[in-house]
Structure 1
């Protein structure tokens, strides 16, 4: 059975702040607690550069969360969606972009 990856990406935006410490230690911790065992794995990215050394990264941050299925994600996330999305304002004003993907290989 294919694994589902839910990616939430924060595009670089001039003049916007992103509190990585809050994001990692409070927001992602809340997500782990709320989604429980449905959440199989979490990877957090912090953008450091674009394709040219020293250039601005396209995304300041991203999280990739893995679930057994899209249904497992929705069942775990939906009851907590309001609290999780409301918390975004505590670490950034950047509007995140979300993508749900099937992981095809390693």
Structure 2
């Protein structure tokens, strides 16, 4: 229950903070899945490393991320999955076990696609992690 409450707060806070962000670059968007273009909105879901926390990368890669990507439709430009294995500084603990990132053209469309599916997304968390993710919404500037 506490996990769902905290996650709900994080997702709600992200939507409120990001809602006023610029959503379109004003330039024509290419659909090349290998290019990260200025003006795209980037939603990063970061799973912090901590003792006792687990992460099933195979499930995340083959089930969870494709499920969420399916909700986003043509607004989705690409998504990436990163697996953490080293800290940025020697002899320091790993900061994140994994980071999933969606690159979308329009933030409002992203929110409209996620909102009706949020319960399914949250319910699926238990299938791959016991960590509470941090969500960072940003605009690609270069």
Q: 1:29 aligns to what?
A: 66
Q: What do the CA deviations read for 1:35-66 (whole angstroms, capped 9, x no partner)?
A: 22221110111001002457532000001101
Task: Name the one with the larger strand percent.
Answer: 1
Residue 91 (structure 1) aligned with residue 139 (structure 2): no
Instruction: Please give the root-mean-square deviation of Cα atoms over the aligned residues, in Å.
Output: 1.4
Unaligned segments of structure 1, at least 5 residues: none
Tell me the TM-score normalised to structure 2 length: 0.69
Residue 90 of structure 1 and its aligned partner are, at CA, apart by: 0.8
How many angstroms apart in 2 are the aligned matches of 1:88 and 1:72? 23
- TM-score normalised over the length of structure 1: 0.91
Number of aligned residue pairs: 105
Contact 1:38 1:76 in 2 (8 A): no
Matched residues in 2 for 1:5 and 1:84: separation?
18
Task: State the structure with bigger RCO (CA 8 A, min sep 6), 1 or 2.
Answer: 1
1:58-106 CA-to-partner distances (Å, cap 9, x unmatched) read 000001101112112111211111111211111111001001101111x
Q: What residue ranges of structure 2 are gaps of 5+ in the alignment? A: 1-24, 26-38
> Which protein has the larger Cα radius of gyration, Structure 1 or Structure 2?
2
Matches within 5 A, 1:1-106: 1=25, 2-52=39-89, 55-105=92-142
